[in-house]
Amino acid sequence: MLENINATRMELLHLRKRVALATRGHRLLSEKRDEISRQLIKIARQIQPLRRQVEKELLETCRRFMLARASMEPADVKAALEVPTKKFSLAVEFARVMNVKVPHLIKEISGQIICYGYATTSGELDVALLALERALDHLIELAEKEKQARLLATELLMTRRRVNALEHVVIPELHETIRFIFDKLAEAERDNTTRLMKIADIIRA
């Protein structure tokens, strides 16, 4: 492959510019990789306790619903939850972390989650619905954090590959090509010097 290189000073200058550009790109990508890693660690530390909290709240919600069903007639449970009065919508906004678009979930909630009278329902159903309401807030936050983490992890993997390609393939190959051209030019310079010396000897003779 190196044999096909045009060993000229112009090509040498061009390659040195490419090395400078690749080195600058490597530095910038390394900084991006490090910052994404810091952001990912920060989010991961938030996810772990949040996931435990959501699991605990959902488990409590399920337990309360089971107690409510055990203390009420099935028809009464169905009738109580048939016409919900709480409205829920979710919007997504995007922010940028090191040029990575990460979502921010915005919830809009109106109305009351308890949508029935108290004559045919048990207090356990009230407690279950309120527990579900609390769990939903944390569940949305967890979904947001986990999506952010996945996007940042994907970008981190791509950035690491680019950094490694520049560090271990592109820049070393450019340096090797530069050394090859430099050696060729030096060899050509020595040949020219030798020829000039021979011509000078002939003229003096």
CATH number at residue 86: 1.10.287.3240
The reply to whether 203 falls in a domain is: no
Per-residue pLDDT of the chain (205 residues; tens, 9 = 90+): 555 677 788 888 999 999 999 999 999 999 999 999 999 999 999 999 999 999 999 998 898 888 888 887 788 778 777 777 777 788 888 888 778 888 888 887 777 777 776 766 777 888 888 888 888 888 999 999 999 999 999 999 999 999 999 999 999 999 999 998 888 888 888 877 888 788 877 887 6
If one counts the domains in the chain, the total is: 1
What Å distances lie between residue 17 and 21, 35, 162, 168, 198, CA to CA? 6, 27, 19, 18, 37
- Does the pTM exceed 0.85? no
CB atoms under 10 Å from CB of 129, counted, come to 23
Contact 178, 41 (CB under 8 A): no
């530095």: which residue's tokens?
A: 27
Q: Which domain holds residue 89?
A: 2-197
In a domain, 202, yes or no: no
In a domain, 205, yes or no: no
Task: Look at residue 204 and tell me if it is in a domain.
Answer: no
